[in-house]
Amino acid sequence: MKKWFAVIGDPISHSKSPAMHNAWYTEMDVDATYIPIRVEPANLREAVASLKLLGASGWNVTIPHKEAIIPLLDELDEQAAKMGAVNTVVKMADGKYKGYNTDGAGFVRSLEDAVGTVHRDKPILLIGAGGAARGIAFALLAGGYRNITIANRTVMKAEAICEELGTGQAVSLVEAENKLHQFAIFIQTTPAGMANGTLNLPFSLEKFPQDAIAADIVYNPLMTPFLQAAEEKGATIINGLGMFVHQGAIAYNYWLGHYPNTSNTIIELTAQLK
């Protein structure tokens, strides 16, 4: 029987997930379809009940429902519970719907895809302490990375994540700025530099080290002010597209039991966004 998947969010029309997943089904000869569904926050409960009733094989969850959906699911993966957010729902063999989070793992895959194996002791600076940073922090820890510092405008939020992680150091943006040279990998997770955003880089890169790796989770535009500044300092830069494609590929694997080809997808989406 044909399987069907969806992505729910609000707004949803800009989402690149339907085209990406449908292209994978065609390429991998999978009899399935994937549709975008706009769900306003007030309708989330009914929308989830409908998806279950109509027998969706799974769906992705995007802004603003990643946290609110948790109590509406039948089961929750342990990592997703720690992250406090779900971006993927899977219909299990017993018909129950289980929530997972593939965003953080998608980031770690994109990092390792771009630069190969990374030494697990390398000092990492995570900039920002919102939902995206939290997911990445847990995925880094699960991947064995143990030298994590979180810098945030509101230091208390960085402290809260470190406490939950059971490791890591929380610093202010100013403290981070003053010891930038001590880090090897930088991960920018604030909305600074988004296409329609008005934010500037949250801090100066004056003390940026040589031979660093700089990643941004934003992919539209592909080149953010942070990546631009890091590249000028000689860093290897990683835009947010790999994270987006890999979070989708990991979800696809949860649903269908095999991985799609991600490198072609990254090349195609890069060409579209340039």
Catalytic residues: 66
Give the list of residues 6+ apart from residue 185 with CB closer than 8 angstroms, or none: 111, 118, 122, 123, 124, 125, 212, 213, 214, 215
Which among 103-111, 183-191, 207-215, 251-259 is the span making contact with ligand ATR, rule CB under 6 A? Answer: 183-191
Region of residue 15 (left: phi > 0; alpha: psi -120 to 50; beta: else) = beta
As measured in angstroms, the least distance from the Cβ of 153 to ligand ATR is 3
**Tokens coding 160:** 């809260």
End-to-end, the C-alpha distance of the chain in Å comes to 38
Distance of alpha carbon 39 from alpha carbon 46, whole angstroms: 9
- Our finding on whether 189 is near ligand ATR (CB under 6 A) is yes
What DSSP character marks residue 151? E
**Tokens coding 168:** 């890591």
154 is in an annotated binding site: yes
Give the list of residues 6+ apart from residue 182 with CB closer than 8 angstroms, or none: 123, 209
Amino acid at position 18, single letter: P
217 is in an annotated binding site: yes
Which among 89-97, 102-110, 187-195, 237-245 is the span making contact with ligand ATR, rule CB under 6 A? Answer: 187-195
Distance of alpha carbon 202 from alpha carbon 186, whole angstroms: 13
247 is in an annotated binding site: yes
- Of the candidates 60, 147, 190, 265, which one interacts with ligand ATR according to CB under 6 A? 190
- Our finding on whether 188 is near ligand ATR (CB under 6 A) is no
- Of the candidates 62, 102, 110, 152, which one interacts with ligand ATR according to CB under 6 A? 152
What DSSP character marks residue 1? -
161 is in an annotated binding site: no
As measured in angstroms, the least distance from the Cβ of 240 to ligand ATR is 11
- Our finding on whether 153 is near ligand ATR (CB under 6 A) is yes
Of residues 112 through 151, those in contact with ligand ATR by CB under 6 A are 128-133
As measured in angstroms, the least distance from the Cβ of 257 to ligand ATR is 30
Nearer to ligand ATR, 35 or 160 (CB): 160
**Tokens coding 184:** 């090897």
As measured in angstroms, the least distance from the Cβ of 30 to ligand ATR is 30
Q: What are the backbone angles phi and psi of residue 9, rounded to the nearest 5°?
A: -175, 180
Contact set with ligand ATR (CB under 6 A): 128-133, 152-154, 157, 189-191, 199, 202
Q: Binding site: what residues are annotated? A: 15-17, 62, 78, 87, 103, 128-132, 152-157, 217, 219, 240, 247
